[in-house]
Amino acid sequence: MDMRFIFNVIIAVFIFLYLPVSKIHAQEMFPVSLISVDKGTYSICIDKEQQRLHVFKGRDSVLELPCSTGMNPGNKQFEGDKRTPEGVYFFDKILDGKDLPDFYGWRAYTLNYPNPVDRSIGRNGNGIWIHGRIVPLDFTDTKGCVSLTNDDLKRLSAYLNARRTPVIILKDMVNIDRKSLEVMEQLYAGFVFSWIDAWENKDIEHFRGCYSNSFYDTLSGDTLSTYIDRKKGTFEKYDYITILTNGLRIVSADGYVLCYFLMDFSGGGFQSTGIKYVYLENSSSGPKILAEEFMPLSRAPLWDQEAGDLERREKDELNKFLDSWISAWKTKDFEGMRACYADSFPSLDEFFDMKKRNLEPYRYIQVRLDDIKTDRRGVFWNLRAVQEFTSDKYRDVGIKELQLIRTNKGFYIKQEKWERIHERS
């Protein structure tokens, strides 16, 4: 079934299911391509039919410019067809006009055509850019690129960020009401987080069910069955997998939806941070993954803020865990304290029998950690701190060392070591 048809059917269902028909025309309308974009995110929408380029901040229009696209109508299929591709792209590099033939004008922004979806269905060609020009603007006069006057390209340049600003090229730009966009956002975000849950829980059946039979592995070109077999091996390799995300954005073009976000993956002692691009089709049974792509953070430095936010969020989670652990210790809540330990903690039952014997005689307990230092290796976090223990009968100070496991359910203590500095009764 035609993907555009399915997409339009879904949009229609959203509109008429969640919004009374009499109110549709009274609603403020936004591009359907901007499903979930935060207020600080710039997006570019290019309407080939109208030969207009639109810049949005969040969903608010901030700039509209005339542009020129390919000489021939329709979506690009192969090299030399003089068509402009339709889809979601990002620019990789800036090429200075001084280093290019004159007709490219001031400069050029290279787009990542063909993207994973294009490659999965055999579209080819290259050299699709957004560039300037030395002749007056004339509509549909390029060989497939998007061209603007030099002055307009300079205005546009302020909004283009490598591997961050989506360039959405459309046959024509369709608008929709906010409520319908919110419903779509819930659908696709819910799907992404359900897929991540299956990944973390190593639920291979659920994980497999998130993929289209047309899935294309951009790294190796493998079929879905080979890809899933490889994932099974990954699941078996690691006792624990955690996936942390930040900055989810969801945009769409005719035929697919793109969800992209900062992803921090940990499996055992392995850890990798970068930008995950997940391309979805709208199937009769809901969203399915058509293709994926991952770009290391080192190649996408404009995501450093999201990475910093994610790191701070993790430290906050660690501090909350330590507060909970210390609180259970201070109140002699042995059940709550035990919940902070991994099942794999050595001799866990004997350890807690000893804890109870040692702590029960005290009427009050105070525990304090100072000079906390952490070191992370994948899902494993090593913590070292100065621990001060005070009760009505006993006080000591020592070095506490914890090996923690960060799972999808939170932190747990895997090993614990303490060495006395001094003791005073």
Whole-number average pLDDT of the chain: 93
Strands (E), 173-210: 175-177
Backbone angles phi, psi at 257, to 5 degrees: -120, 140
Cα–Cα distance, 418 to 421 (Å, whole number): 10
Equal fold, 177-299 vs 307-424: yes
Predicted confidence at residue 2, as pLDDT, reads: 43
CATH class for the region spanning 33-173: mainly beta
Predicted confidence at residue 26, as pLDDT, reads: 56
Predicted confidence at residue 207, as pLDDT, reads: 98
Report in angstroms the alpha-carbon separations of 78 from 42, 126, 138, 210, 421.
30, 9, 24, 30, 72
Domain boundaries, the chain: 33-173, 177-299, 307-424
Tokens 């303490």 locate to 418
**Intervals of the chain under pLDDT 50:** 1-7, 9, 12-24, 425
Predicted confidence at residue 22, as pLDDT, reads: 40
Beta bridge partners of 286: 283
Tokens found for residue 306: 């999201």
CB atoms within 10 A of CB 2: 9
pLDDT tens-digit map of 170-187: 999 999 999 999 999 999
Predicted confidence at residue 218, as pLDDT, reads: 84
CATH number corresponding to 307-424 = 3.10.450.50
CB atoms within 10 A of CB 278: 26
Tokens found for residue 266: 């940990």
Measured in whole angstroms, the distance separating CA 53 from the mean position of its chain's CA atoms is 26
Helix (H) or strand (E) holding 326: helix 304-330
CB atoms within 10 A of CB 160: 18
pLDDT tens-digit map of 268-289: 999 999 999 999 999 999 999 9
Predicted confidence at residue 10, as pLDDT, reads: 52
Predicted confidence at residue 387, as pLDDT, reads: 97
Measured in whole angstroms, the distance separating CA 26 from the mean position of its chain's CA atoms is 34
Please determine, looking at this structure, whether the domain spanning 177-299 carries the CATH number 3.10.450.50. Answer: yes
Predicted confidence at residue 406, as pLDDT, reads: 96
Q: In this structure, is the dihedral angle defined by the CA atoms of residues 33, 35, 36 and 39, taken in order, positive or negative?
A: positive
Q: Which residues contact 310 (CB under 8 A, 6 or more apart)?
A: 244, 245, 246, 262, 264
